[in-house]
A and B are shown apart, each in its own frame.
Chain A
Amino acid sequence: MNKKNSVIKINNVTKRFLVGGDYFFALKNIDLTLNEGEFTGLIGPSGSGKTTLLNIIGGLDSATEGDVNVLGHSMDNTSHNERATLRRKYMGFIFQSYNLLPVYSVFENVELPLILNKIDSNERAKKVNQAIEWVGLTDKRDSKPNMLSGGECQRTAIARSIVHGPALVMADEPTANLDAENSHNIMQILVKLNKELSTSFVFATHDEKIMGYLRRIVHLDDGQISKDEKVKNPKYN
């Protein structure tokens, strides 16, 4: 795996859906390369193809045309199981609506990726506690999601996404359900993790608050990249 340079390499990717007998193009001829440690945002209005692109990168969906190479693996030639393995070992996901398992406590939700990776219980406990500490939820480790605020839920989701030390974390609208203060807190945690763990982050968002943290902004419009800019001095980063 060539993690040092390109984490994601996308060549000429198109995604189309059959809608009512006609094709709807969610993505059109996308070319994109993201390198290790990047803190990138896919920015665009609703329906611009951000989430579709993120899902294709994460192997949750596949491209209709084009090549997708993630962490050295060509996603076009991998089976469902191989993609699942790739996600389990090297990727983390953060969702807009947190997607925490409601019957699990904070600790158990964060522990899940480690259980799936068959990490032994002592090491698991150590890593989970560390991840919970990173996101500042030590006092809530035994709480169930319904006892947490939105910000705390998202912090739990962040801990879950980084607990197994992934090379790449994808966040789909991570701050959409949060107020301004919580959004900034979440982004500060993510920036800290990016710097301390060298984890690459890709965001799909149209939240203005996030822009100030991004070091690279890829603008998507109507399924196409309209602008790809590097931010030399991010406002908060």
Chain B
Amino acid sequence: MLIKIALKNLLGARLRTILNIFVTAFSFFIILLMSGIYDGMLQHAKNVTIDTEIAGGAYWHPNYDPLDPMSFENAHSIVPNEIKLLVDQNKAFPVLVSQVSIYPGGRIMPAILKGIPPDQNIVNMPTQSLNGFNDGTIPILIGKGMAQDTKLNVGDSFTIRWLDVDRTYDADEGTVVYIMDTENFKLDMNHIWVPLNIAQSMLAMEDQATYVTYKNGLMEVDNKGDWIIRDVNYLVQDMEAIIEADKPGAQIMYMILLALAAMGIFNAQVLSIFRRGKEIGTLMALGMPRSRVVTLFTIEGGLNSILSAVATLIIFGPALWYFGTSGIPLPIDYTEMGLMMAKRLIPVYSIGLILSTTILVSIVVLIVSYIPSRKISNMKPTDALRGKAIA
């Protein structure tokens, strides 16, 4: 019965209901969009890393620690046989890593040199650009960020100086053959990519590698020597740690948006009860107990949230769908700032996000509907009938 009356009240008070619903629906929309963008950003960063760097996983030389460049010197050996077999079957490719110094424009800069087979097609990198270059210098592939830092353009040459396996310093000229535009700053910042055979020759490490990246869906080989398998879960764990570390920030943002929505609804509800004092008094005079009047107003708030969810779907659903498929273009390139962000932000709306947002917003709406409604229970019917405001 109360639901019927509440629905009638809501539908009857057209403009007031429309405004309430619009405010709540807009809050729903903003919460979903912002959370979707945030989830999308994180998922995009993970996908980009897997697509351009990790593939199915990697076998690492036991001494290799990507976060410690000093370890590179001792992190190389002949690839174990079974892993080599994967390489021969084009199911994996080796990478040789070394610290080098480069001299672009006469300045000295530390860099990480990585030798990669130009013909690999396991990760999404334009390594083919390293093929067919034979002017006597070392063909170099760099990222856009690195090119900006070093002020290098395609065709520019610079000196590379390295320490070979015999601990002898050597140097040669390298020429930028391609500048890749990648969203994975880990392939870009301070990295120079050269053909694997040239890297092996430079470092006097014939047939050696630091790690081997393999295709997605391969089983772990039995005989991998002392090399260590690093699966996707391991390789994305730093990314997930960043995501985890960033969660409180996202939750604060979520709470702020929710609080804004709640304040809007709370205000609307307080105003509604303030203005409907006479109506409350009339309902009491007609024999509706106070507790039921409180329930009636709380139900009105609850129905408000249900109608708002429907309104979000109808009014803002097309916008959410559009942004979810076409993305939101970013005015600047954040990869230059060391952030792994797409050129267009594509929100991801998971079922979990939609359900949790709907449930949370509904609970908040119900609470903020109940709190002012509770004031009715302190109202004297005679005061209410006179339209006297709640104390």
Binding site for B on A (CB under 8 A): 55, 58, 60-61, 80-81, 84-89, 91, 93, 95, 97, 99, 101-104, 108, 112-113, 115-118, 160
Q: Give A138 to B208 CA distance when docked, in angstroms.
A: 98
Whether A55 pairs with B382 at a CB distance below 8 angstroms is: yes
Query: Can you list 27 A-B pairs, Cβ within 8 angstroms, ordered by A?
Result: A60-B285, A60-B385, A61-B382, A80-B289, A81-B289, A84-B290, A85-B287, A87-B285, A87-B286, A88-B286, A97-B278, A99-B282, A99-B285, A101-B12, A102-B12, A102-B279, A103-B12, A103-B13, A112-B5, A112-B286, A113-B286, A115-B4, A116-B1, A116-B288, A117-B287, A118-B1, A160-B286
Cβ 8 A contact of A101, one of B11, B282, B287, B385 = B282
Check A115–B385 contact: CB distance below 8 A. no
Taken together as a complex, chains A and B put the C-alpha atoms of A60 and B385 apart, in Å, by: 10
Q: Which residues of B contact A80 (CB under 8 A)?
A: 289-290
Taking a contact as CB atoms closer than 8 A, the residue among A61, A89, A95 that contacts B287 in the complex is A89
B interface, CB within 8 angstroms of A: 1, 4-5, 8-9, 11-13, 278-279, 281-282, 284-291, 380-382, 385
Taking CB as reference atom, which chain B residue is nearest A97? B278
Give the distance in Å from the alpha carbon of A101 to the alpha carbon of B286 in the complex.
Answer: 12
CA separation between A110 and B1, bound complex, in Å?
A: 16
Cβ of B111 to closest chain A Cβ, rounded Å: 73
* Chain B hits for A61, CB < 8 A: 380-382
Task: Tell me if B287 and A87 are in contact (CB < 8 A).
Answer: yes
Which of A91, A101, A116 interacts with B279 by CB under 8 Å? A101
Q: Are A88 and B287 in contact (CB under 8 A)?
A: yes
A58 CA to B282 CA in the complex, in Å?
A: 12
Most-contacted residue by chain A among B1, B281, B290, B382 (CB, 10 A) = B382
Q: Which of B284, B287, B289, B381 is packed against the most chain A CB atoms within 10 Å?
A: B287
Chain B nearest CB from A173 CB (Å) reads 12
Q: Are B291 and A95 in contact (CB under 8 A)?
A: no
Taking a contact as CB atoms closer than 8 A, the residue among B5, B11, B279 that contacts A115 in the complex is B5
If A81-B291, A99-B385, A115-B1 touch, whether A104 touches B285 (CB-CB below 8 Å) is: no
